[in-house]
Amino acid sequence: MTGPETNLTDSAGRTPAELAALIGRDKLPPVHLWHPSHCGPSHMRIAADGTWFHEGSPIGRKELVKLFSTILRREPDGSHVLVTPVEKLDIEVDDAPFVAVEALTEGEGRERRIIFRLNTDDLVAAGPEHLLRIDTAPDGTPRPYLHVRAGLEALVNRPVFYQLADLALVESADAPGLWSDSAFFPFMPA
């Protein structure tokens, strides 16, 4: 194959088949079923780079961030909340609540599968239920986002986007884009 090589393992040495087996293994709480009364602000913020803050200080324990991310929900008005069966707290999100920090690709063309690893170590395979879209930032640069779940998205970080853009250009310079799980994702901003 010419051009960028397809990744055979992720940064932890796992193959695409091993990653595919892990997707959805950890069940998330049913936050869509919880509708407690609004309780106020959480005093938390998720920065554009994916860093979580509480009262202005970064949350340094990754396990705590991962736990909070499981009770994160996007409301119909576009706001974000942390929700449990007994309380709902507002959380400020600067851009997207997650960041895609790694992509593992397997196959080529219509047979390709792209599995993303998020900053929370969640795994998401791009496809019909997890769309990859490209927006344009005010400065004209592309801003790629991956749908994670229930209206929550991950910003695809620049190195990962460039890796995928290189693959897209190799496959079709005229209409760059990539297939994943039977869905085609154009790399031109919407």
Same fold, 31-93 and 97-184: no
Is the domain covering 31-93 a CATH 3.30.2130.10 domain?
A: no
* Cβ atoms < 10 Å from Cβ of 150: 11
CB 52 within 8 A of CB 67: no
Domain 97-184 belongs to what architecture? Roll (2.30)
E strand or H helix that includes residue 67: helix 62-70
Residue located via tokens 């900053």: 119
> Closest Cα to residue 97, out of 28, 149, 55, 133?
149
Tokens coding 113: 């599968």
Tokens coding 141: 């640069």
> Closest Cα to residue 46, out of 83, 2, 93?
93
Would you write out the chain's pLDDT as a tens digit for each of its 190 residues?
A: 334 445 566 666 766 666 555 555 567 889 999 999 878 999 999 999 999 999 999 999 999 999 999 999 999 999 999 999 999 999 999 999 999 999 999 998 899 999 999 999 999 999 999 999 999 989 988 899 999 999 999 999 999 999 999 999 888 767 889 999 999 999 876 5
pTM above 0.75, yes or no: yes
Residue spans of the domains in the chain: they are 31-93, 97-184
76 three-class SS: coil
